[in-house]
């Protein structure tokens, strides 16, 4: 029996609670590939699961962490050999299958993506689910006609992990970016990533017109709620909005006017992508979409720092990406 350190989620009074524990290696979830974790990026979903603020976890006990980067230790699948460097994210990881906040992770082989050319293991972890989500959003907007010459792109919830990476990627690709942040103290950080303008979101109770000044050709929306309604009202004709988040709320009080009078396209983003798309976008993340400021965006932490960090993240007080380092 070998014990490993892990951040385990258990259920108390109908809510999930996370804590650091020793877990037996042979108790890990099933799969053909055992990997030794080197890094695990931290996401808002992990914060909701670890603090019990939303019913994210589907099976208890479950090791938390919806992503992990590591080295294959053993594999019964032909596609992977010991020593291969890989990332795994999504599917049921950290939700109904033991996740990335542990020294080892065991998963089905078809959940895994090899580290793509152009990225090392730390850079891959800095990107993680957040980078993949940003890539899905940008790719979808481009498939719907967005180009740098179409006009500026707005990014909401700008200080967050997905949004920070989106700003950097969009700037690399030649887009003019406007960042929307509740925190003016993060303006210098957001400008350094490539935002040309930093503006506040509307107040929660602001009256939002069905159609307002047409400003943006594209939108990457981490906020949802009233912020998404405001963004929709300010899109130029045929603008594309990639909606992936709910940091400001899940209900959107809007009208059909942006859609029927300006042809605005509202695109839903789900980062739990199929294998072909997943690999194509990871290749883009190592090449044309690779951000320039990964080390400015990312903060390395230890596993023991995780519980406090998850509380701060659930409160909307963190900035950029956080990566748990196991070595």
Ligand X SMILES: NC(=O)c1ccc[n+]([C@@H]2O[C@H](COP(=O)([O-])OP(=O)(O)OC[C@H]3O[C@@H](n4cnc5c(N)ncnc54)[C@H](OP(=O)(O)O)[C@@H]3O)[C@@H](O)[C@H]2O)c1
Report whether 143 contacts 137 (CB < 8 A). no
**Which residues in 86-125 contact ligand X (CB under 6 A)?**
none
Q: Which is nearer to ligand X, 150 or 159 (CB)?
A: 159
Please report how close the Cβ of residue 84 comes to ligand X at its closest, in angstroms.
26
Q: Which stretch binds ligand X (CB under 6 A): 22-30, 37-45, 233-241, 298-306?
A: 37-45
157 binds ligand X (CB under 6 A): yes
Alpha-helical segments (H) within the chain: 44-51, 121-143, 161-172, 187-193, 225-233, 257-262, 275-285, 294-297, 306-314
| 80/189 with CB nearer ligand X | 189
Work out how close the CB of 40 gets to ligand X at its nearest, in angstroms, rounded to a whole number.
14
245 lines the binding site for ligand X (CB under 6 A)? yes
Q: Which two tokens stand for residue 224?
A: 């949802």
Judged by CB under 6 A, the residue of 119, 127, 198, 223 near ligand X is: 223
Q: Restricting to residues 264-283, which ones interact with ligand X according to CB under 6 A?
A: 269-271
Q: Which residue is nearest to ligand X (CB)?
A: 160
C-alpha distances (whole Å) from 258 to each of 59, 149, 177, 231, 266 are 41, 21, 21, 10, 10
Q: Which two structure tokens, joined as six digits, stand for 32? A: 């053909």
Binder to ligand X among 37, 43, 51, 240 (CB under 6 A)? 43
Using alpha carbons, select from 170, 160, 308 the residue that is nearest to residue 245. 160
- Asked whether the beta carbons of 23 and 102 are under 8 A apart, the reply is yes
Q: Whole-number minimum distance, CB 162 to ligand X, in Å? A: 4
Q: What are phi and psi of 262, to 5 degrees?
A: -120, 0
Among positions 113, 130, 135, 229, the unique one binding ligand X when judged by CB under 6 A:
130
Among 5, 91, 182, 292, binds ligand X (CB under 6 A): 182
- State the Cα–Cα distance between residues 95 and 82, nearest whole angstrom: 26
299 contacts 323 by C-beta, under 8 angstroms: yes
CB of 93 to ligand X, least distance (A): 13
The number of C-alpha atoms within 13 Å of 294 and in the hemisphere containing its C-beta is: 19
C-beta atoms surrounding 25 within 10 Å:
16
Q: Which region among 9-17, 67-75, 126-134, 207-215 touches ligand X (by CB under 6 A)? A: 126-134
Is 316 a binder of ligand X (CB under 6 A)?
A: yes
Which of helix, strand or coil describes residue 124? helix
Here the tokens at position 140 are: 């979808």
244 contacts ligand X (rule: CB under 6 A): yes
Q: Which stretch binds ligand X (CB under 6 A): 7-15, 120-128, 151-159, 284-292?
A: 151-159
Query: Is residue 53 near ligand X by the rule CB under 6 A?
Result: no
Eight-state DSSP code of residue 97? B
**Residue 51 near ligand X by CB under 6 A:** no
Q: Does 213 bind ligand X (CB under 6 A)?
A: no
Find out whether the peptide bond into 61 is cis, omega within 30 degrees of 0.
yes
- Contacts to ligand X by CB under 6 A: 43-45, 129-130, 133, 157-163, 181-183, 186, 201, 222-223, 227, 244-248, 269-271, 313, 316, 318
């Amino acid at each position: 029996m070998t014990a490993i350190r892990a951040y385990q989620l258990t259920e108390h009074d109908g809510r999930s609670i996370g804590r650091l524990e020793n877990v037996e290696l042979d108790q890990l979830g099933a799969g053909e590939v055992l990997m030794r974790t080197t890094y695990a990026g931290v996401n808002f979903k992990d914060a909701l699961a670890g603090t019990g603020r939303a019913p994210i976890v589907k099976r208890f006990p479950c090791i938390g962490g919806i992503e992990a980067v590591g080295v294959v230790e053993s594999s019964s699948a032909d596609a992977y050999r010991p020593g291969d460097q890989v990332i795994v994210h999504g599917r049921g990881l950290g939700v109904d299958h033991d996740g990335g906040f542990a020294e080892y992770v065991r998963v089905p082989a078809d959940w895994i993506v090899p580290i793509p050319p152009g990225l090392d293991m730390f850079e891959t972890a800095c990107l993680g689910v957040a980078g993949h989500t940003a890539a899905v959003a940008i790719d979808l907007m481009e498939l719907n006609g967005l180009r740098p010459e179409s006009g500026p792109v707005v990014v909401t919830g700008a200080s967050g992990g997905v949004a920070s990476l989106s700003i950097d990627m969009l700037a690399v690709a030649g887009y003019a970016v406007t960042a929307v942040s509740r925190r003016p103290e993060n303006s210098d950080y957001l400008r350094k990533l490539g935002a040309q303008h930093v503006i506040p979101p509307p107040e929660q109770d602001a009256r939002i017109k069905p159609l307002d000044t047409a400003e943006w050709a594209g939108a990457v929306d981490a906020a949802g709620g009233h912020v998404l309604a405001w963004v929709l009202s300010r899109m130029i004709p045929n603008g594309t909005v990639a909606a992936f988040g709910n940091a400001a709320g899940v209900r959107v009080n809007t009208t059909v006017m942006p859609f029927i009078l300006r042809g605005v396209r509202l695109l839903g983003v789900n980062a739990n992508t199929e294998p072909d798309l997943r690999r194509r976008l990871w290749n883009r993340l190592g090449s044309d979409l690779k951000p320039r400021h990964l080390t400015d965006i990312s903060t390395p932490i230890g596993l023991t720092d995780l519980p406090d960090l998850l509380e701060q993240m659930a409160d909307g007080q963190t900035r950029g990406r956080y990566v748990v380092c196991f070595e």
